[in-house]
Structures are given as structure tokens and as C-alpha cells.
Structure 1
């Protein structure tokens, strides 16, 4: 009640206190460091395979699809893209930000090694 009584008895004091808090808040907000594009390392793993003389359809069915299916069983995948060309298959796997990049790479290595003999 002392603060309320003080503000009622001295309205200029209350106005000056509120004004100073608003000005202090404005300068504090203006001084905040906000980075428009923070430096973020997105955990990404690329699997590249080659099969000389293979057509695009053959690469797609015998190499790209089986690898995609086995990689898709890994937890915390955000995106997976693949590009298949004549004799070349590239699969790019992007994980969620919380996933450690080294752990993600090891997970992909482990999964691909399980089907390597079938390719």
C-alpha cells in the first residue's frame, strides 16, 4: 500500500518512474543482439554410389531405392533427397538440428553396410 499511496500523493513521481522504465526498456530492446542468419550446422549425410554402364532406371531400382528404404528406418530424419543419373546415384539425408552429425553419419554407415552385399 505504501507504493500506491506514494503514487497517488505524488503523480509526477509515478509518471517519471514509468517513463524511465519505458525508456530503459526501449534502449535495452534496441541493444539486444539478434542475428538474422545464425551460424547453424545442419547435420547432413551424403551417400554417393556408382555403377558403371548402368542406366538411370537400373540405378534407380537396384541401388537408389534399396538404400533409401534402409536409410529411411533411421530416427530423426528431416529430409531425404536423391538424384539418380546414368551410372551415379546420390542420396542426401538431412537430420533434425538436435542430431549430432557424427552420430548421424555413423548411423547411415551402419545401415548402408547391412545391404551393401545385396547391391
Structure 2
């Protein structure tokens, strides 16, 4: 696995739960999105600027076990592939209290596009952060 580029701990909210009192599958995507946005914001104020922003082209989530409440999850992001115009970010959601408890893993493919929908080069701050 590539080195982690960003880690954040997030509280599981009551509203994240499904009928079985587990975090709903869609909540996992929300945790991953929150980590991604916080990471981008930490790199540059204009990561989603006037001229270009990232869009999600694909996502894969392998659900390993249910997240119960109450829980604090730790989301780890790592660069799997850095292209000219796209970035594949690996992700893992673990228990913040017990790093041996893996809730999910997978990856997200992001492409930076301009306001016209054309792909553009990755921001320099993102490339630099992924280089390590």
C-alpha cells in the first residue's frame, strides 16, 4: 500500500444509522468525501476554483464490516495513481480506537475539469502532496 497522504477522525452520527443501527452504506461514501475535501482544502485554497474542480469518475467500496454507533472512524487516503489529469485515491475506513478494525477499503478516481466540462491538468499542490 502507498503511504497515507491524509488521515482524519470523524464521529459517526445518529442520523448515519440504518434500520439495523449500523452506519448506512451511503454514509461510508460521505466519510470518504469529507476526508477528501478536508485534504484538498489543506493543500490549497483554490483546489475547486473559479476555473476548475475535481469530479468523481468512479468509486469502489469494499464493505468489510458494519460500523456501529457510537463510533469514531478514521479515514485514511493514499495516492494509488497520479496521472496528468486524474488521480486515483485509495481509501480505508478503520476504527479510530482500534486500528485493526477495518470497516471498508477501496478507491476513488477523480478528474479535474473546467467549467466547460473539459479535463485539465491536476493542480500542482495535489501533485506535490501525492509525490510524498
Give the alignment's TM-score, normalised by structure 1: 0.29
Which structure has the greater CA radius of gyration?
Answer: 1
Greater strand fraction, Structure 1 or Structure 2: 2
Greater helix fraction, Structure 1 or Structure 2: 1
Give the alignment's TM-score, normalised by structure 2: 0.27
